Amino acid sequence: MVSPVISTPARRPQPKLTEGLRLVDLTWRDHLVRVLLFSLPFLGVALLAYRLAFLSNTHAHIVEKALLAADRLRLEVIGFLYPPLPFLTVLVFPRTWMPSVLASVAAGGIAWLLWYDLERTELPRLWRMLLTVSVVATPTALYLATQAYPEVLALHLVVVAWHYYWNFVRYGHTFSGFVAGLVLGLAFYANFYAFLYAIALAGLVPLFRRAANRSREPSERWATLSQMLVTAFPALWAATSWTYINWVFTGNPFTYLAEPATAVIDPTRWGTPLAERVEWLRDFASELLAQPLLIAVLALNAWRYPRRVVPLVVLASLPSLIRLVGLTYSLPLALGTYTLIALLALPERLPRWIAPLLVIFAILQGISGTTLVLREGEVSQWERVLTTEQVRTSDLEERALAVALRQAPPRSILADDRGAYRIIARAESARPFLLPADEDFTAALASPADRVRYVLVSRSAPESDVVSAQFRQGPPAGFVVDGSRAGWIVYRRIDAPSLLATP
């Protein structure tokens, strides 16, 4: 409803200051339509992978927790899973395809924002289109977009925040500053590294701000400090709040940093002595130098806006610094980050002749990235499944096992979701299972015959899977082997009907 007085508002003088504002000219409906349109290609890839029964560990973990919470109707049963945002969004309808669909939409949002952002370069539309396609149609981007929901969600939020952050530090647009801060705060609940990016962006405010003539004046210093505070506060508050919740409900404030499937701390790197970590720097440097588009963009900025080079280099170095500290930062995510920084850092109003060069660099970066990621286990498996359109045997067996287990009565299968989460996710129901989150799990573990009819173990499950650890050598008293599929063994109580027997 329009204000009775400011229905015909007079704009402040100095219109030039607001000309470069990003995103504020679009309504949320405009955004949504475009996000959905740009999501379509990713949705196609996601559904193909689903049809081929591929399920990433990350997605399995999220779906399993969502199924557990949906069945038990308590959020505490999930042990305050981190990051919670992907889980909460999947909770709406927990199915194995749901994270992929949501990831596709998040990726579509990123693609749309990249396309929107490229307009300011004033490059011809065809070249902008080629550039966008070059960066999103790579195995790295497609994997992130369809199989790494927490990471792509966080990326999406950081990209959104970046636009508003830019409005805030360059043009003093207050509303944008607060939106950026809030989005960065929200992004913490999608992935831990978003918190680090929020701190980095806050720290880089003095370098990104317009060089004011009175930069030494106290008011300018206070303005800078205020912008830093506004940028960082929500992320800091979100992290502190989550740490507090972890402490309240688990006794350990930093439980979430070591969450098995989406760990913030890389157990291998974390334990490495500092002296040995120096060697990693060479790998990180090689990785960065294998990003021709990013290097080209940094060079462009050095030519047009030299002040921006240092902060951009800091942002581009973050994936390396994060891994140097011993935290997790997957390779696909690192490559995706480099590409995004490259595109978002493109200067305004570029000469036309640069366009073909940028496309070539983007393609080279895509090839280089593909070579790197296809060494990774899950990414290469995903790529093989999609390119050969052949379902993996393990996926078929997992699905069959899950379908069979789903028929079991409620709370009749003793299992530990720290190892069995994939099976539970494929079962698309947590009801048949008695899990560590349940009150009588400990009693059932001590005396399974009194509480459950079946026990699910795996010889290759991690040690944290206490059921497998306890019973992987043989069935508990009163149980016999019912069958094995996909590396999992099902024990059944002697008097219980078989779940796996072929009719």
Partner 1 sequence: MFVRSRPTSSPVSTRRRERLGEALVARGFLTQQDLDRALEYQRRTGDRIGRILIALGLIRRRQLYHVLAELWGYPFVDLLQEPLDSRLARLFDPAELVQRRCFPVRRHGSEIFVATAEQPSAELEEFIRGVLGPVTVRPLVTTEWDIDYAIRTVFRDVVLDRAALGLYFRNPDESARQVLIGWQKVVLASVILGVILGFLFAPRVTAVALSALVNGTLFIFVIFHFIVAMAGARHEHEQAISDEEVKALRDDELPTYTVLVPVYREANVIQHLIENLRQLDYPPSKLEILLLIEEDDEETLVAAKAARPPETVTFIVVPNGMPKTKPKACNVGLLFARGEYLTIYDAEDRPEPDQLKKAVVAFRKGPPELVCVQAALNYYNATENLLTRMFTLEYSYWFDYVLTGLDRLGLPIPLGGTSNHFRVDRLRELGGWDPFNVTEDADLGIRAAAHGYRVGVINSTTWEEANNHVGNWIRQRSRWIKGYIQTVLVHTRHPVQLVKSVGLKNVLGFILLIGGAPFAFLSLIPLWSLTLIWLVARTHVFDILFPPFVLYISLFNLLIGNGVMIYLGMLAGFKRRRYQLIPFALFNPFYWLLHSIASYKAVWQLVTKPFYWEKTRHGLTRYLDPSAPTAAKAD
CA separation for the pair 407, 402 (Å, rounded): 9
- Residues with Cβ within 8 Å of 397's Cβ and at least 6 positions away in sequence, in order, are 485, 486, 487
Chain centroid offset of residue 252 CA: 24
How many angstroms separate the Cα of 14 from the Cα of each of 18, 166, 171? 8, 18, 11
Check binding of 83 to partner 1 (CB under 8 A).
no
Chain centroid offset of residue 447 CA: 39
Among 97, 116, 178, 270, binds partner 1 (CB under 8 A): 178
Instruction: Return the number of the residue (173 or 411) whose C-beta is nearest partner 1.
Output: 173
Tell me the three state secondary structure of residue 2: coil
From 50-58, 92-100, 219-227, 477-485, give the range in contact with partner 1 by CB under 8 A.
219-227
Check binding of 99 to partner 1 (CB under 8 A).
no
From 67-75, 268-276, 345-353, 469-477, give the range in contact with partner 1 by CB under 8 A.
67-75
Instruction: Return the number of the residue (143 or 208) whose C-beta is nearest partner 1.
Output: 208
Among 26, 92, 119, 222, binds partner 1 (CB under 8 A): 222
Least Å from the CB of residue 191 to partner 1: 18
Query: How far is the first Cα of the chain from the last one, in angstroms, to the nearest whole number?
Result: 67
Site for partner 1 in 401-420 (CB under 8 A): none
- Residues with Cβ within 8 Å of 160's Cβ and at least 6 positions away in sequence, in order, are 23, 109, 113, 183
Instruction: Return the number of the residue (80 or 361) whose C-beta is nearest partner 1.
Output: 80
From 117-125, 193-201, 238-246, 348-356, give the range in contact with partner 1 by CB under 8 A.
238-246
Size of the site for partner 1 (CB under 8 A): 40
From 51-59, 225-233, 344-352, 417-425, give the range in contact with partner 1 by CB under 8 A.
225-233
How many angstroms separate the Cα of 158 from the Cα of each of 194, 225, 306, 340, 480? 7, 21, 24, 10, 52
Check binding of 116 to partner 1 (CB under 8 A).
no
Nearest by Cα to 402 from 378, 379, 425, 377? 425
Check binding of 244 to partner 1 (CB under 8 A).
yes
Among 225, 258, 285, 302, binds partner 1 (CB under 8 A): 225
CA separation for the pair 299, 14 (Å, rounded): 32
- Total count of residues recorded for the chain: 503
Hey, what are 488's tokens?
């999992």
Check binding of 6 to partner 1 (CB under 8 A).
yes
CA separation for the pair 409, 444 (Å, rounded): 16
Hey, what are 228's tokens?
């830093």
Omega before 83 within 30 of 0, i.e. cis: yes
CA separation for the pair 197, 192 (Å, rounded): 9
Among 190, 238, 423, 496, binds partner 1 (CB under 8 A): 238
Check binding of 74 to partner 1 (CB under 8 A).
yes
- Residues with Cβ within 8 Å of 77's Cβ and at least 6 positions away in sequence, in order, are 68, 69, 437, 438
Site for partner 1 in 148-177 (CB under 8 A): 174-175, 177
Among 2, 211, 274, 275, binds partner 1 (CB under 8 A): 2
Check binding of 223 to partner 1 (CB under 8 A).
yes
Check binding of 272 to partner 1 (CB under 8 A).
no
CA separation for the pair 466, 482 (Å, rounded): 20
Least Å from the CB of residue 288 to partner 1: 35
Check binding of 215 to partner 1 (CB under 8 A).
no
Check binding of 237 to partner 1 (CB under 8 A).
yes
Check binding of 286 to partner 1 (CB under 8 A).
no
Residue written as token pair 């999609």: 386
CA separation for the pair 172, 169 (Å, rounded): 6
Check binding of 93 to partner 1 (CB under 8 A).
no
Check binding of 181 to partner 1 (CB under 8 A).
yes
Check binding of 73 to partner 1 (CB under 8 A).
yes
Least Å from the CB of residue 217 to partner 1: 11
Check binding of 254 to partner 1 (CB under 8 A).
no
Chain centroid offset of residue 121 CA: 28
Site for partner 1 in 9-48 (CB under 8 A): 9-12, 18
Chain centroid offset of residue 96 CA: 16
- Residues with Cβ within 8 Å of 16's Cβ and at least 6 positions away in sequence, in order, are none
Check binding of 70 to partner 1 (CB under 8 A).
no
Binding residues for partner 1 (CB under 8 A): 1-12, 18, 73-76, 174-175, 177-179, 181-182, 185, 218-219, 222-223, 225-226, 229-230, 233-234, 237-238, 241, 244-245
